[in-house]
Structure 1
Amino acid sequence: MMIDFRQVRANDWPEIINLANGVFQESTPMEVSFPLLFNASNRCSYVAVSNHEIIGFIGVLPEELHWQGDCYLGSRIGAVCVSQSYQGQGVGRSLFRLMKKEAQQLDFVLVSGQGKLYLSEGCELFGEFKQFIIPGQGRQMAIKAFSGEVSELLAIHRLRSQQVSYFGQSPAHLQQLIAAQSLATLFGGTQQIFLSFSGEQLVAYVVTGSHYEDGEITEVFEMAGEAQELLALLQQLALTLPNLRCRIQSESELSRLLEAQTAFETVNNAGTILYVNEKVKGVPIPHTWDLGFL
């Protein structure tokens, strides 16, 4: 039976959502956890169709990577799924190859997996990070939990846009991603956002989620701020959050500060990357457990 591979259409989404929820069987529906991806306005994704039925899907969203004033355009891939009766027939690979063909005008493609399919299709492991369990240490700080106020949202957006390299997200998209708690949901935990202030100015923030891995772990999903401010916030949080674990760019100032205090292990970036523009290989890409990765 012929299988047609094409770009997604607006009226495909109810069927795509049913397929994805049936394949992944997460406790939270996929369209709730990933509102930007499972969205009728998304025209970047692709489907496989057989006998007028959607039997495969590859979720794609546009992405921006900023570094030293340059902006690289790319895409992110997540939620690749194939109907059970069509698995093992090369449907996922065909969808990936269609995406790859369409991505030639881009600079990079981030992929939310490290499986054999992606590696055999030219994707690479990328980015080296040092993983720390943060030692607890207190100092007088003004820390509060994120309340959802617009002023806090804009301050978070402004601070993350001041990093050496960062993925571009509009405040509106950032608001949706924070509310979705997608990474915390995948880990089966609860997302928390902590803000550190100097007077009225936000100087650091940390996004965390807890899960169990031979005991409770609190994972840092995203953070931003100057190294000293981030270190102080992380150490303060480590006094109450169990096994606060953080992945930090190997050559960063924050990494050097923590190396002087505690042990670490070296880990790769999450997922894989397809380099379309060779210049992107010189960019220190943030750890891809940021708010928008999946």
Structure 2
Amino acid sequence: MPEFRLVEEDEFQQAIDLADKVFRKEGHVSMGIAFPQVFSVALNQSYGAFVDDKLVSFIGLVPSVLHLEGAEVQAYSIGAVCTDPDYRRKGLANTLLEKIFEHVNKSGASVLFISGDLPIYMKQGCTFYGKMNQYKLHRDDITRDTSYKVRELAPYDWFQLRKLSQNRKIRYEQTIYEIAQLNKGAGFASIFKMKHKVLVAEKNSELNAFLIFGVPYQEQEGGDSRVIEWGGDPIAIRTLLAEVFTYGPDSLLWNVPSYEKGLMQDLDSFQEKVDQTYPGTIKIMNLDLLLNQLVPYFKDKLAISTVDEKQKRLFNNENSTTLSNLDVEELILKGSKNVEWYSDIFPIPFPFPQGLNYV
């Protein structure tokens, strides 16, 4: 009979070995290196299914705090979901997912992010969310502003880089140590056998922007690079994008969330762009809790009150509408083109999930 529980300190190596067996091939770094937050003994959040003390199924669980224009949303993310091939189709992952839901509901988190969109998640109420443009940039697409000095991140830059990171209105909460650790792990980039490079744009001894992007483990000419995370002045960011091509890629993939309006306006002229939802899915675990955590975001925009167990009222000084709870969730995650007075408020601008904090 399988045992479903939190993974204990001396069992995390089993989790890493199982994840490597399922997700990694020759040339990949270990999942334990790429995703230290998933296999963290200190956090002690991830769950496993055990048969005779052997870990046969695993779900990594990572807590985070999202900053959304003054609001703090408590969230969890799951990733590295894997089951030993000999134990598949036995419902183990489904039972683990139920354990995850219990954990999240006890924690005070209001949303759960999932890196995939498999039926196991969609059947549990997970759904697509967010809006973004994916740009494919080429060497001659970007011109640099020569007033900036561009260089790689130096060991004395961490305070300024943290400041640039914290100045973003939409972001994951990150300490200096977390930025450094997640940058070293290069979780999302590692899927493509890439490590991170960090460029900074400097003027008058002050950092104006940073850009984290992926480069292959083995130096090579050609291929795609990927932008992982960025922050700072849009003009300085453009200059950093131009510098990426000195590292040899033919093209650069950049997923820009719709809340990055300044960057999007600057990139409107590029031909190779695709409108998309965010990668991965989300589940609102507790709508009332999420709305309460979002109160600072809604300030001076609108208010939301409860009509009854199934409905909410959205209103400001001039407008009012009543929606079902399900419609409110849809509005939060996907927005609406039908009601103009709150079209600029929704969808809620959750941080892009494939940055440093990717799980």
- Of residues 106, 120, 125 in structure 2, which corresponds to 1:122? 125
Alpha-carbon distance in structure 2 between the residues aligned to 1:23 and 1:137: 42
- Once the two structures are TM-superposed, the CA of residue 103 in structure 1 deviates from its matched residue by 1.2
Mean Cα deviation higher: 237-246 or 28-37: 237-246
- Structure 1 length normalisation: TM-score? 0.90
1:2-21 residue pairs with structure 2 within 5 A?
Answer: 2-21=1-20
- Once the two structures are TM-superposed, the CA of residue 109 in structure 1 deviates from its matched residue by 1.1
- Structure 2 length normalisation: TM-score? 0.75
SS at match of 1:234: helix
CA contact (8 A) 2:184 2:196 kept: no
Alpha-carbon distance in structure 1 between the residues aligned to 2:275 and 2:160: 31
CA contact (8 A) 1:46 1:59 kept: yes
The share of aligned pairs that are identical, in percent, is: 22
Alpha-carbon distance in structure 1 between the residues aligned to 2:163 and 2:59: 32
Tell me the residue number matched to 1:166: 171
User: CA 1:202 to 1:262, structure 2 compared with 1: closer, same or farther past 3 Å?
Assistant: farther
Tell me the residue number matched to 2:224: 217
Tell me the residue number matched to 2:145: 139
Letter in 1 for 2:11: D
Letter in 2 for 1:6: R
User: CA 1:235 to 1:15, structure 2 compared with 1: closer, same or farther past 3 Å?
Assistant: closer
Matched, 1:259 2:324: no
Letter in 1 for 2:4: F
Alpha-carbon distance in structure 1 between the residues aligned to 2:117 and 2:22: 19
Tell me the residue number matched to 1:272: 281
Tell me the residue number matched to 2:321: none
Alpha-carbon distance in structure 1 between the residues aligned to 2:168 and 2:103: 30
Tell me the residue number matched to 2:307: none
Alpha-carbon distance in structure 2 between the residues aligned to 1:19 and 1:231: 41
- Of residues 153, 162, 180 in structure 2, which corresponds to 1:175? 180
CA contact (8 A) 1:132 1:263 kept: yes
4+ residue runs over 4 A deviation: 238-241
Matched, 1:22 2:21: yes
Alpha-carbon distance in structure 2 between the residues aligned to 1:38 and 1:263: 37
Q: Which has the larger radius of gyration?
A: 2
Tell me the residue number matched to 1:287: 352
- Once the two structures are TM-superposed, the CA of residue 47 in structure 1 deviates from its matched residue by 0.9
Letter in 1 for 2:353: T
Deviation digits for residues 172-224 of structure 1 (CA, Å, limit 9, x no counterpart): 1111111122222211233211111121111111111147xxx7111111111
SS at match of 1:187: coil
Alpha-carbon distance in structure 2 between the residues aligned to 1:17 and 1:127: 31
Alpha-carbon distance in structure 1 between the residues aligned to 2:226 and 2:276: 14
Alpha-carbon distance in structure 2 between the residues aligned to 1:253 and 1:44: 37
- Once the two structures are TM-superposed, the CA of residue 277 in structure 1 deviates from its matched residue by 4.0
Tell me the residue number matched to 2:255: 247
User: CA 1:13 to 1:265, structure 2 compared with 1: closer, same or farther past 3 Å?
Assistant: same
Letter in 1 for 2:251: N
Alpha-carbon distance in structure 1 between the residues aligned to 2:202 and 2:279: 30
Deviation digits for residues 46-81 of structure 1 (CA, Å, limit 9, x no counterpart): 111122222111101111100121111111111111
Matched, 1:106 2:109: yes
Alpha-carbon distance in structure 1 between the residues aligned to 2:258 and 2:69: 18
Give the total of aligned pairs.
288
Alpha-carbon distance in structure 2 between the residues aligned to 1:139 and 1:253: 17
Letter in 2 for 1:242: D
Letter in 1 for 2:358: F
Letter in 1 for 2:214: G
Alpha-carbon distance in structure 1 between the residues aligned to 2:235 and 2:152: 20
CA contact (8 A) 2:201 2:239 kept: no
RMSD (Å) for aligned C-alpha atoms: 2.0
Which consecutive unaligned segments of at least 5 residues does structure 2 have?
217-221, 295-331, 333-346
SS at match of 2:179: helix
Deviation digits for residues 65-103 of structure 1 (CA, Å, limit 9, x no counterpart): 001211111111111111111111111111112101221
- Of residues 189, 195, 202 in structure 1, which corresponds to 2:194? 189
